[in-house]
Amino acid sequence: MATILSLVTFCLSLVFHANGLSFTLSAGNKKCLREEVHKDILVTGEYKLSDAPIQTHLTVIDTNGHVLYKKEEASRGKFAFTTDDYDMFEVCFQSEGTHGQGIDREISLEVKTGVEAKNYDDLQKTEKLKPMELELKKLEDLSEAIVNDFAYMRAREEQMRDTNESTSDRVLYFSVFSMLCLVGLAMWQIFYLRRFFIAKKLIEN
């Protein structure tokens, strides 16, 4: 039973994978990585920078410019925060120095969100959960996360549908208005030309 639960939990966890990457940052350069997160979601990050004779600073901000984490002369560490609303956050690394110095720094970054960011080892110790109970807890959290994601996507779909319907109504109203304007213009032209021809005695009144 525990093996089946572990397998199911593993399959579901593939949907909520951690974002781990490595890249090179040259002196005088800045690189930012963005990620969208839902409301009330735990976000954790772990970073490691290679040794270099230049300083590199790390800043994590949201779309409103609020600083969620900041580390001067970053070399190695972790950060964590919980989102207040659906938002996008940026993880920015900026190296001092000037371009063309030929000094590069290797940076490794791993960002986890939601269920993947949760520390189940501490939870197991705190609540004294058995292995099967722990797997059930993971499965419950993963299922809840999937349900929340589907609910969010459905809400977005309804919002987009409402927007499309509103746009369609506006297009229809504009088309009717344009048609009325064209009919009115055509009638005015007929009236004007008739008066013009009568004035020139080209036709009889």
Q: Is residue 35 part of a domain?
A: yes
Residue 3 covered by a domain = no
Query: What total of structural domains would you count in the chain?
Result: 1
Sheet with 104-113: strands ordered across = 19-26, 104-113, 42-49, 76-82
For 35-38, the CB contacts below 8 A with 24+ separation are 35/88, 35/89, 35/91, 35/111, 35/113, 36/86, 36/87, 36/88, 37/83, 37/86, 37/87, 37/88, 37/89, 37/113, 38/83, 38/86, 38/114, 38/148, 38/149, 38/152
Residue 46 domain-assigned (yes or no): yes
pLDDT of residue 111: 92
Specify if 66 maps to a domain.
yes
pLDDT of residue 165: 77
Question: Which pLDDT score is estimated for 204?
Answer: 66
Domain that holds residue 106: 21-117
Least confident of 55-69, 170-184, 185-199: 185-199
Largest CA distance in the chain: 106
Residue 127 lies in a domain: no
The structure's pTM equals: 0.60
Pair 110, 19: CB distance under 8 Å: yes
Tell me if 6 is assigned to some domain: no
For residue range 76-131, list pLDDT tens digits in order.
999 999 988 888 899 999 999 877 677 889 999 999 988 787 777 777 777 777 77
Contacts of 36 (CB under 8 A, 6+ apart): 86, 87, 88
- pLDDT, tens only, 151-181: 777 877 888 887 887 787 788 888 888 888 8
Question: At residue 24, what is the residue type?
Answer: T
Instruction: Find the CATH number of the domain harbouring 107.
Output: 2.60.120.680
Asked whether residue 27 is domain-assigned, the answer is yes
Average pLDDT of 9-19? 48
What are the structure tokens assigned to 64, written together?
């409103």
pLDDT of amino acid 12: 44
**Within-domain flag for 196:** no
What's residue 97's pLDDT?
82
